[in-house]
Structure 1
Amino acid sequence: MKKCIVIGGGIAGLTSAVYLSKSGIKTEVIESKNKLGGRAYSIKDRENKTVIDNGQHILMGCYKETLKFISLINASDNFFYQRQLFIPFINSNSEIHYLEATKLFYPLNLFIGLLNHSFLNFSEKISLTTFFIKLAFSKNVDLNKLTVEEWLICEKQNENIRKTFWEIICVGTLNSGTKNASAQIFKDILKKMFLDGNFSSTLIIPQKGLSETYCQPANNYINKMGNKISLNENIIELKIENNSVTKIITDKRIIEDFDFVISAVPLTALTKFYSGDEIKNISLEYSCIISIHIWLKINKLKNKFYGLINSPIHWVFNHDDHITLVISDANYLIKKSNDEIIDMCFAELKKYIKTKREDIIDYKIIKEKSATFIPNVENLNKRQTTKTKINNLFLAGDWTDTGLPATLEGAVISGKKATDLILKTC
């Protein structure tokens, strides 16, 4: 029986291990931390006895490979599924403006939803609708040299549309603002989201912590298939002879009984134990995501989430016993103290949802400093293919060349691509 070592227990690594297990490949996952999930995990806040995520992750109906993965590990019931697109936006006067697809047939339901979006005036609604109609019929337009903002300006999206609609969509999907992100990858994402059927545009929200949602079911599946996961074990070196990995040296043992290796760790971690020509002198710029978990005396929010218009806080997620504020593209806040960040959040909450400082029981701030690579042209050109120059070494992770930004879907696709290449050699 062939055997594969998967380095890294994040979503990409777990995906590889699950599909390898399904295909009858003996598999072991080696993870350096004491928990699975990589940058998608949950912890229990001791003081408030609440499970919180290190960062809020949502899916969309267009995340086809992720949905297949969670179905395979029997985790589909861990999510809330929208029937059609529904996003409540709040402005600084605490007024709610709904972006809601109607119950009519697709794509008419989306276009009417755009025309009914009350925060835009009539000419802006026409401009936005025209943009999507043009997008539907665009084919081989090369946008690689443009930023999202430059593209939107070319498409006559005025400043108000860019600020109140496009910025929050761009930051939410790419974790990067319109001034930096590549127009090409944004265009590709928009087509998957809005032009691939009604379900693709819907949002899918985890109902449990990320560890319980993804990691535990994947762990259970891998174990059920007779394979194993080793935690708290660091990879020190990959020994390469005759252009193949022959030994894996960890801080606990030397592993020689394997046929394939998948590295499913971030680039910064990979360079610590592998120095192949394809990754030499390559570094990616990263973007921070800050999550602020807030416990309220009384939670008056009715919907599961809200987008905030023209606010440094992009999203508010409602967990009933607490709320989570999400600030994407947050490098400008990395050096700010927690006191400075929470003061800013208090001011925004007062304007947007009429929450006062005295309404807040407790809070916890989590900074994921290298949450995603910035999807600008320079970084996108540095992404590596799944197959390395080493015969039996494969790469996975959302930073590899998946054609998507650094999302859960990108991580899942990368893990499955590595598995598919291995299976072709068996």
Structure 2
Amino acid sequence: MKKCIVIGGGIAGLTSATYLTKYGVKTELIESKNKLGGRAYSFKDRKHNSVIDNGQHILMGCYEETLKFFRLISAQNNLTYQKQLFITFINNNSEFHYLEATKLFHPLNLIMGLLNYSFLNFSEKISLIFFFIKLAFSGTDYLKNLTVDEWLNRENQSENLKQSFWEIVCVGTLNSSTNKASAEIFKVVLKKMFLDSNFSSTIILPKYGLSETYCHPAKEFILKMGSKISLSENVLELKTKKAVITKIVTNKRIINDFDFVISTVPLTALSKFYSGDEIKNVSFDYSCIVSVHIWLKENKLQNKFYGLINSSVHWIFNHDDHITLVISDANYIKATKNDEIFEMCLIELEKYIKIKKEDIIDYKIIKEKDATFIPSNKNLNNRPKTKTKINNLFLAGDWTYTGLPATLEGAVVSGKKAVESILNNLNSER
């Protein structure tokens, strides 16, 4: 039986190991930390007996490969699904505005939802609908080297429309502002989200912490199928001979009983043990995400999540025993002290949902400083492909070339692509 070593236990690594195991390739996953999940995991805050995520993640109906992966590991019931798109937006006067797809057939249900979105005036609604009609029938060549903001300006989208709709969508999906993100990749995202089907536009939330939602089921699947997971083990070196990896040196042992290697770790980690041409001149600018977990004396929020219009806080997620404020594209506060970030959030909380300092029991701030690479045109052109010049080494991770931004879906797609490359190699040997 052929064997593969998967380096990295984030969602790309878990996807790779799961599919390899499914297709009968003996697999060992090696993770340097003592837990799985990479940048998408959860842990227990013992002070408040709450499970919190290191960073809030949402899925969408258009995350086809992620949802297939969840079904494979029997984790599909760990998610909460919408029947149709429904988002509650709040402006700085505490007024609620609803973006809700109707029960009509797709895409008329979304068109009616946009027409009913009360924060936009009628001409802005028509402008938005015409934008989506054009989106459905145009290519992407004219978007090369444009930012999202430049694209929106060409399409005569008003400043209010940009702030109250486009900036929220762009930051929420790409973790980047419209003046930095690539128009080309944003178009790919928009088409998948809004034009594929009614289900594609729906938002899907984990019922539990991320570790319980997908890490534990993936681990159980991998082990049950006879493969292995090794935690707290750091890869130090890949020894090669004639363009083939022959040995993997870790902090615990030397491994030589394998046929293939998939590295799913971030670029910074990969460059410590591999310096191939594929990554030699590759570098990325990264975008921070700040999560502010707040415990309230009384949580009066009704919905599971809210989008804030024209706020430094982009989203509020309601976990019943606490709420989570998400600040995306947060490089500007990467070095800011936590108490200053909390004071900034207090201003937004009082302005948007009338929560004051005396309503709060405690808070915890988590900064994922290099959460995602910024999907600028420069960064997108730097992404390496799955195959390398080393015949038995394959790359995965949301930063590799997938045609998608750095999302859970991008990570899953990358892991599956690496597995498909190995399976193609095996088929060609027969």
TM over 0.5: yes
Q: CA deviation at 1:138?
A: 1.1
Matched with 1:18 is 18
Partners in 2 of 1:425 and 1:406 — Cα distance? 27
Matched with 1:402 is 402
Q: CA deviation at 1:63?
A: 0.3
Partners in 1 of 2:142 and 2:68 — Cα distance? 31
Partners in 1 of 2:44 and 2:130 — Cα distance? 47
Matched with 1:73 is 73
Partners in 1 of 2:169 and 2:301 — Cα distance? 22
Deviation by residue 1:346-399 (Cα, 9 ceiling, x = unmatched)? 010000000010000111000000000000011001000000000000000000
What aligned pairs does 1:293-332 form with structure 2 within 5 A after superposition?
Answer: 293-332=293-332
Partner SS, residue 104 of structure 1:
coil
Partners in 2 of 1:52 and 1:335 — Cα distance? 22
Partners in 1 of 2:54 and 2:69 — Cα distance? 21
Q: CA deviation at 1:283?
A: 1.1
Matched with 2:137 is 137
What aligned pairs does 1:217-296 form with structure 2 within 5 A after superposition?
Answer: 217-296=217-296
Partners in 2 of 1:39 and 1:277 — Cα distance? 26
Q: CA deviation at 1:282?
A: 1.6
Which 5+ residue runs of structure 2 have no aligned equivalent? none
Partner SS, residue 24 of structure 1:
coil
Partners in 2 of 1:144 and 1:53 — Cα distance? 36
Q: CA deviation at 1:16?
A: 0.2
Deviation by residue 1:289-339 (Cα, 9 ceiling, x = unmatched)? 000000001111111100000000000000111000000000000111001
Deviation by residue 1:1-35 (Cα, 9 ceiling, x = unmatched)? 00000000000000000000000000000000000
Matched with 1:100 is 100
Partner SS, residue 167 of structure 2:
helix
Matched with 1:375 is 375
Q: CA deviation at 1:142?
A: 2.9
Q: CA deviation at 1:159?
A: 0.5
Partner SS, residue 143 of structure 2:
coil
What aligned pairs does 1:68-217 form with structure 2 within 5 A after superposition?
Answer: 68-217=68-217
Deviation by residue 1:55-95 (Cα, 9 ceiling, x = unmatched)? 00000000000000000000000010000000100001111
Deviation by residue 1:200-246 (Cα, 9 ceiling, x = unmatched)? 00000001000001100000000000011000000000000011000
Calculate the aligned-residue CA RMSD, in Å. Answer: 0.6
Partners in 2 of 1:225 and 1:92 — Cα distance? 52
Partners in 2 of 1:256 and 1:140 — Cα distance? 46
Partners in 1 of 2:130 and 2:52 — Cα distance? 41
> What residue identity is the alignment partner of 2:241?
E
Partner SS, residue 142 of structure 1:
helix
Number of residue-to-residue matches in the alignment:
426
Partners in 1 of 2:282 and 2:76 — Cα distance? 37
Which 5+ residue runs of structure 1 have no aligned equivalent? none
Matched with 2:339 is 339
Matched with 2:7 is 7
Q: CA deviation at 1:141?
A: 3.7
Q: CA deviation at 1:139?
A: 2.6
Partners in 2 of 1:425 and 1:162 — Cα distance? 47
Partners in 2 of 1:391 and 1:97 — Cα distance? 54
Partners in 2 of 1:259 and 1:38 — Cα distance? 25
Q: CA deviation at 1:137?
A: 1.3
In 2 relative to 1, CA 188–258 (structure 1 residues): closer, same or farther, beyond 3 Å?
A: same
> What residue identity is the alignment partner of 1:95?
E
Q: CA deviation at 1:140?
A: 4.5
Identity of aligned residues (%): 74
Contact 2:282 2:383 (C-alpha < 8 Å) held by counterparts: no
Q: CA deviation at 1:278?
A: 1.4
Q: CA deviation at 1:281?
A: 2.5
Partner SS, residue 51 of structure 2:
strand
TM-score scaled by structure 1? 0.99
Runs of 4+ with deviation above 3 angstroms: none
Partner SS, residue 88 of structure 2:
strand
TM-score scaled by structure 2? 0.99
> What residue identity is the alignment partner of 1:255?
I
Partners in 2 of 1:134 and 1:12 — Cα distance? 34
Partners in 2 of 1:206 and 1:174 — Cα distance? 19
Partner SS, residue 142 of structure 2:
coil
Q: CA deviation at 1:182?
A: 0.3
> What residue identity is the alignment partner of 1:399?
W
What aligned pairs does 1:385-424 form with structure 2 within 5 A after superposition?
Answer: 385-424=385-424
Q: CA deviation at 1:144?
A: 1.7
1:360 aligns with 2:360: yes
